[in-house]
Amino acid sequence: MKLKIEDWRKKNKRRIVSAGLEDAMDTEDLLAFKIFMGFVVPFAIYMYFLVIRSPIPLWIAAGMVLVGFVYPSVMVSSARATRHEEIKLQLPFVIDLLTLSTEAGLDFIGALQKVVEKTRPGPLVNEIERMLQEIRLGTTRADAMRSLAWRIDLQEISSLMAVLVTADQMGSSLGDVLRVQSDLIRTQRFTTAEKKGAAATQKLLFPLIFFIMPAVFIMIFGPVVLGFFKVK
């Protein structure tokens, strides 16, 4: 039981951090919020209607408990998804600027500082600035990059940081590595956009078949049918 609780705390701690909510809550706050929304609020509402002699059916009360208990997790997931989308939008520009900076002769730290200075504020830039602060305080570059990947918890960032850590440890050219990663991310985004476009086309088939096509058939064949009956 204790192990399960620890697993829950570790899992939700990372979800809270990756949602950018670590300054607003921790796992204990999340659990307290779930208990409040899932039990305290429904109980108060149920008792209120009981006092005014208009009791709520038990199935509605049970539904309020379920919704209230799940809502805080949904809120965190929504914030996390929004933050991830913002990071994905910033990532190509950040990688391009890092590439240009390293190819212009700046070292890795200088290139990161250039990104912070030249890129509009956002979750990815904030995380890079935090990584720079950790490095300046004595954290190794590899550990700082792994920490950034853990906090963001996004596949694209984890892959990028893993490649950069390897390149840094092997002394490879960061410019070449970043150029490859930039091309890879753009290809992935193009593929994702194609998939979304194909899915949107499939979704349009239902209203086209069941609503538009019948109307077209009526407009085309309606006069013919009416003329046939008039002739008779």
Q: Is the pLDDT of residue 113 over 70?
A: yes
Query: Residue 83, exposed/middle/buried by CB under 10 A (0-12, 13-18, 19+)?
Result: buried
Name the pTM for this structure. Answer: 0.76
Mean per-residue pLDDT for 32-57? 86
pLDDT tier for residue 86 given thresholds of 50, 70 and 90: very high
pLDDT, position 99? 86
Give the helix, strand, coil percentages of the chain, each rounded to 5: 85, 0, 15
As a whole number of angstroms, the distance between CA 79 and CA 231 comes to 67
> Which of left, alpha, beta for 140 (phi over 0: left; psi -120 to 50: alpha)?
beta
For residue 63, the number of C-alpha atoms closer than 13 Å in the C-beta half-sphere is 5
As a whole number of angstroms, the distance between CA 97 and CA 198 comes to 32
As a whole number of angstroms, the distance between CA 96 and CA 178 comes to 8
Q: How far is CA 50 from CA 38, 46, 117, in A?
A: 18, 6, 60
For residue 194, the number of C-alpha atoms closer than 13 Å in the C-beta half-sphere is 6
pLDDT, position 52? 85
DSSP classification of residue 209:
I
Q: How far is CA 203 from its chain centroid?
A: 23
Q: What is the CA radius of gyration of the chain?
A: 27
Domain 85-189, second-level architecture: Up-down Bundle (1.20)
CB-based contact 110:51 (threshold 8 Å): no
Q: For the segment 116-169, what is each residue's pLDDT rounded down to a tens digit? A: 988 888 999 999 999 999 999 999 999 999 999 999 999 889 988 998 888 878
Q: For the segment 3-14, what is each residue's pLDDT rounded down to a tens digit? A: 677 888 888 999
CB-based contact 25:33 (threshold 8 Å): yes
Terminal alpha carbon distance of the chain: 82
pLDDT, position 76? 93
As a whole number of angstroms, the distance between CA 191 and CA 171 comes to 32
Average pLDDT across the chain, whole number? 82
CB-based contact 123:83 (threshold 8 Å): yes
* Domain layout of the chain by residue ranges: 9-83, 85-189
pLDDT, position 231? 47
Q: Is the pLDDT of residue 85 over 80?
A: yes
